[in-house]
Structure 1
């Protein structure tokens, strides 16, 4: 069974690898045997992390990437294929968030979140798929969120972008499935990252959110390992267009009908 999850000789691009979930995903893939292309707006920021991956015996390159800039996306993919002979896996993770009441969201707030999370994810997938289509093989994993299926106050642009990721995943899965490319959405629930750290420092909020999670706690990094390796490996070859929630059950609704 272990060969079903073996990523040896696979090459994976992980966008948004400067911190948080992107690094968790990259580390899980490296431990399963994959070589990596790590991206960040400023790739020098991720050199220490790249060295950690190299210590596992993997080949790694770091590349600048601004997903709001099409030329930057094209340059990133060109650099990846100039070093590696193929791209097997894409973890479409780069994203951002702005928390505001809906009536305070500005035009630029909306564009920043939606252009980064949704438009950027599409064009990264498009440019990577151009190479996957030549090989007739690929695993694209778009990173969504529990907000891909649930709405949360104060997160209107983010929820819209992550809901869009779910729909985009299904569309691309339908279009590229016959070419050997699977496209799935991995949707984490409440995980502490640098982006939302301030929330977790608020005990009242933390108690509130844990009360809504059936498993009773926020996610931990290792909770994502199995899911990302599964969707990146040959073991998931008959799964495409799906959204896999890693959320401790919060997407069930988590509303108590009894005391």
Structure 2
């Protein structure tokens, strides 16, 4: 098999949660460019529909489905619709997430629970539902989006969000354990831990971005193509012998701390 075939996703179907904006949108575009059918889902159906329409206009088969990933009925609805439309689910990118900026001594139990429900519980529920389909197929790829903030402590001067960081650390544990549990079904489970990629979600960091940038050895923040390549690699046959790993995409930030 040549390299082009290794990265070819033609006739594959990928679900990207939170794919209506930011990194999720870029990963959806990447997989579409490699030939995959794309299903985008999140609570904000309008954003999903916009990305879906853009992909369809380029000849890609795509669906937009409203989904609250903390709701098992919503998740099952997505799975059922995708199977009905495309017959298989080959890739799941668990990208949906939320955060809560608050000092560690002030964050409330409700705020903590909200972050954990979306970033961890929702990710597990979606992986479980799609994992059942992939197990029957005998193959599949699950990619969980973590963060460099889940791998080391974060200075509150530029990010004071302990629930977010904790949830992203738990995503790593979820990824490694799922990888072991699902390996017998030929399902590879890996995580991507992005560094700082400017987006609507990171506007809260604009005032301190210069502090963060000084710590990035590459001297720049992440771009669209930086995340696209990582997502395509872990979605393709090129990563068939890689599972339970965390691919850090941060310009060297974690190594320099």
For the criterion TM > 0.5, the same-fold answer is yes
- Where does residue 76 of structure 2 map in the other structure? 74
The ranges of structure 1 where at least 4 consecutive aligned residues each deviate by more than 6 angstroms after the TM superposition are none
Q: Give SS of 1:27's match.
A: helix
Q: Cα distance, 1:253 vs. partner?
A: 3.6
Q: CA deviation at 1:48?
A: 1.8
Corresponding residue number in structure 2 for 1:233: 236
Counterpart position of 2:149:
147
- 1:215 paired to 2:213: no
**Residue number in structure 2 paired with 1:41:** 43
Alpha-carbon displacement from aligned partner over 1:113-155 (angstroms, at most 9, x marks no partner): 0110001000000000110000000000001111221121312
1:103-182 mapped onto 2 (5 Å cutoff): 103-152=105-154, 153=156, 154-182=160-188
Q: Find the aligned partners of 1:64 and 1:47 in 2 and give their Cα distance.
A: 9
Deviation, structure 1 residue 46: 2.1
Report how far residue 18 of structure 1 moved.
Answer: 2.1
Q: Separation in 1 of the partners of 2:48 and 2:16?
A: 12
Once the two structures are overlaid, the 10-residue window that deviates more, 72-81 or 241-250, is 72-81
Partners of 1:248 and 1:45 lie apart in 2 by 29
For residues 176 and 57 of structure 2, the distance between their equivalents in structure 1, rounded to whole angstroms, comes to 37
- Checking the alignment, whether the CA contact within 8 Å between 1:89 and 1:139 is kept in structure 2 is yes
The residue aligned with 1:186 is 192
SS of 2:188 mapped into structure 1: strand
Q: Count matched residues.
A: 251
Gaps of 5+ in 1: 255-259
Name the structure 2 match of 1:5: 7
